[in-house]
Amino acid sequence: MSSSRHSIGSYLIRRLQDYGVRHIFGIPGDYVLTFYQMLEKSPIKVIGVTREDSSGFAADAYSRINGMGAICVTYCVGGLNVTNSIAGAYAEKSPVVVITGSPGLNERKDNPMLHHKVKTFSTQREIFAQFTAASAVLDDPGTAFRQIDETLAACWRTKRPVYLEIPRDMVSVAPRLASRPKSIVEKSDPAALREALAESIARINASKRPVILADVEVHRYGLCRELRLLTDRTGIPVAATLLGKSVISERHPRYIGIYEGAMGRPEVQQFVEKSDCLLMLGTLLTDLNLGIYTAHLDRHRSIEATSEKIQISHHQYTNVLFGDFLRGLLKAKIRRRTFPIPRHAPHYTPPVKASPSNPLTVNQVFTLLNEWLRDDMVVICDTGLAMFGAVDLTIHRGTEFVAPAYYASMGFAVPAALGAQMARPRLRPVVIVGDGAFQMSGTELSTIAKHGLNPIVLVLNNHGYTTERLILEGPFNDIHEWRYDQLPTLLGSGWGCQVHTQKDFEQAWRQALEHHHEFSLLNIHLAPRDSTTSLSRLGQYLGECVKRNR
């Protein structure tokens, strides 16, 4: 791409487009208004949100579906508001570009006390350096284009957030002689790749019951198709982690379910842990993925392939790209397997006969929802009861389940629905969120209404923080009751209703489907300690940790 006649701001916009960014989320402020004006004149659509942290959650979900996302906020009061949501994107390997304005270089003479400044002019960047893969301040016209290229390339390569800061008097500066780096194409070391593949193929072919454990990097590096082809050709069964859920269609005949150590289905845990050759693809081995360390994965019998390393038992290969390794397995002569596997079956009980007098339970909510999900829907969960209740939902296709399954930040789901539907308008979000998390970021329904989006939002209203109640009970877990179903009246858009029984839920779902031109909100009343099996187990384990550490 030619850099001639571009200003620093316009060049950044053009490069974002090159990576497929069509929308940018944020809130304007005086230090970034010039860049906002430039964005408004560009093909990238600006999506103004109600809170800066929501822009981070929205861009996170957008990037998971689109490949890369971006936010644009002002200096410090805006930037420091997004630290939590961007930290979550870093933890869960979601490529988000953080763009922030800052005081002009000419304004900084003699270190004046300018508004929004915290300590020094570099304080904000130093904070973001702790949870971004790369960062740059575009304060030198001669190097700005190179910095933009290198920073965006790092975002794409690592699948983690990056940070770009533009002093407001540099946005419109057009370099006379802008330096540009040479294109860097990452390649595997051929010898290391050959040896890693040879050792892996030998181990797989010598095994009796190999199993694939697929995780988040298969999503992030766009390798879901390769995973499906590998299991189709070899017959090797696939389990997914909680963070990797929907990495393969959960209707695939060789899919066995979510592996979460002792927190998940016992038959899945036993099948994975007894494998004599466990092929871990794109794994991020977190405490939640490992069932709060109740997992027993024998590294002696494992092949672990990630973006950072290929490790076979205790042999480690570097300079081997994850995608090259997986595609190499696809081309290899791996003998096909036909041994029996556990049948993928949700834990949900069959729905009871609808009755206006039976209070609705969380198990009934997810049992019915599992029957009602359609191919044109994407499930977006907040953490806690919403996420752990949705573990066994059967997701029909790949990358259509979005949740903060490791960082577990409350308030993720509603703004994530905004980002997800902007990224892929044909998918209708089904948003599952607890009442506590909804009170944190539910105002993003205002932005959703503004843009005519149509998620179906299920508020699991049990008057407080269920996960914390299961860990340690106390009045600090209770929250004020809202009439969530009245929000459409406040916003002047959308449709809402209260749900108390299974019959209410069935009727409300049918009506929500009919409101395809606007959002729907179902205020689902549940008992305060109503929980799912997996969340109850999590609460028990975490509660024991709290007791031990008092």
pLDDT of residue 147: 95
Nearest C-alpha neighbor of 55 from the set 99, 14, 18, 19: 99
DSSP state at residue 439: H
pLDDT of residue 346: 65
**Tokens at 542, concatenated:** 């975490």
pLDDT of residue 337: 85
Place of tokens 């861009």: 59
Q: What are phi and psi of 311, to 5 degrees?
A: -125, 125
* pLDDT tens per residue, range 443-495: 999 999 999 999 999 999 999 888 888 888 888 888 999 999 999 999 999 99
Residue 351 pLDDT level (bands cut at 50, 70, 90): low
pLDDT of residue 254: 94
* pLDDT tens per residue, range 187-198: 999 999 999 999
pLDDT of residue 117: 81
Q: For 411, left (φ over 0), alpha (ψ -120 to 50), or beta?
A: left
Distance CA 274, CA 276 (A): 6
pLDDT at 177 > cutoff 70: yes
pLDDT of residue 296: 83
Place of tokens 């948003």: 431
- List the domain boundaries for the chain: 8-167, 190-331, 362-548
Across the chain, mean pLDDT equals: 91
pLDDT of residue 466: 85
CATH fold group of domain 190-331: Rossmann fold (3.40.50)
pLDDT at 1 > cutoff 60: no
Alpha helix (H) ranges present in 395-528? 413-423, 435-441, 445-450, 466-471, 487-491, 502-514
Domain with residues 8-167, CATH architecture: 3-Layer(aba) Sandwich (3.40)
**Tokens at 208, concatenated:** 């009796």
Please state the rounded mean pLDDT for residues 59-67: 97
pLDDT at 232 > cutoff 90: yes
362-548: CATH class:
alpha beta
**Tokens at 106, concatenated:** 């000419």
Please state the rounded mean pLDDT for residues 227-239: 96
Distance CA 220, CA 244 (A): 10
pLDDT at 256 > cutoff 60: yes
* pLDDT tens per residue, range 268-306: 999 999 999 999 999 988 877 777 777 788 888 999 999
Distance CA 255, CA 342 (A): 9
pLDDT of residue 171: 96
Is-same-fold flag (8-167; 362-548)?
yes
| % pLDDT > 70, the chain | 95
pLDDT at 521 > cutoff 90: yes
pLDDT at 182 > cutoff 70: no
Distance CA 301, CA 309 (A): 17
pLDDT at 350 > cutoff 90: no
pLDDT of residue 3: 52
Residue 120 pLDDT level (bands cut at 50, 70, 90): confident
Nearest C-alpha neighbor of 297 from the set 271, 317, 316: 271
Name the residue with higher pLDDT: 366 or 547. 366
pLDDT of residue 545: 79
Contact 532, 389 (CB under 8 A): yes
Return the HEC string of 395-428. CCCCCCEECCCCCCCCCCHHHHHHHHHHHCCCCE
**Range name among 171-180, 207-216, 232-241, 278-287 with the lowest pLDDT average:** 171-180
**Tokens at 211, concatenated:** 């199993």
Nearest C-alpha neighbor of 417 from the set 409, 428, 405: 428
Q: CB count, 10 Å around CB of 481?
A: 11
| % pLDDT > 90, the chain | 73
